Amino acid sequence: SPLLAVCFAASCGVPSIALLTLAVNPLTGALGAFNIFLYTCCYTPMKRMSIANTWVGAVVGAIPPVMGWTAATGSLDAGALLLGGILYSWQFPHFNALSWGLREDYSRGGYCMMSVTHPALCRRVALRHCLALIGLSTMAPVLDVTTWTFPVISLPINLYISYLGFRFYRDADRSSSRKLFFCSLWHLPMLLLVMFSCKKSFLEKEDKGDLLSGSHGRALEIRLP
């Protein structure tokens, strides 16, 4: 029953938010609470109202890795936003390709999905975010999250999913959508594994910061009488 579902959800959600807030940090707990609110009060009702539900749902899916970053660092900085951005963009080729084969079911269920009401937009958005993954991967070393080897090593898999995104955009059939969907299943863990292996170490960042602060200190000593 709806009452049982609400009670079960509350028994999971309330202790989880409390645990994150007290045992990790308040920022991570706040992000968890916000994500539960976004999923239940915004994303879920919007499924029957507007295709904008897909964009809201992508935000919901992007927040968990941001929470992982804030749990480890206690801050919401460029690395957290980059991880969230990668998960946000990845969800569009993943879900749009999946929903393409379920258009009849969504239509019968009364759900407003791009694949049902705006099929051309569904394919365009999937391709657009496949290409966005290349740009986001390039931003990682710019933001000092990874070394420059990451965008180089990740380029082949990003190009491959972009190629399948183009095939889905051009052919608009179940075969191309299935290929894009199954590619998305291994693309994300592979991309994150490469990102992890190319990450900048905290020691390297600290040494760089110490070097800059030392140079600044010597400059001050030169200026002082």
DSSP 130-173: HHHHHHHHHHHHHTTSB-THHHHHHHHHHHHHHHHHHHHHHH-S
Q: How far apart are the C-alpha atoms of 133 and 110, rounded to whole Å? A: 32
Amino acid at site 206: E
* Among candidate residues 31, 13, 22, the one with its CA nearest the CA of residue 67: 31
Count of domains observed in the chain? 1
pLDDT block averages, 10 residues each, the chain of length 225: 93 95 96 95 93 95 95 92 96 96 91 93 97 96 94 97 97 95 97 93 59 51 44
pTM of the model: 0.85
Confidence (pLDDT) at 224: 41
Q: Percent of the chain at pLDDT above 70?
A: 89
Q: Looking at residue 206, what is its pLDDT?
A: 57
Parent domain of 15: 2-222
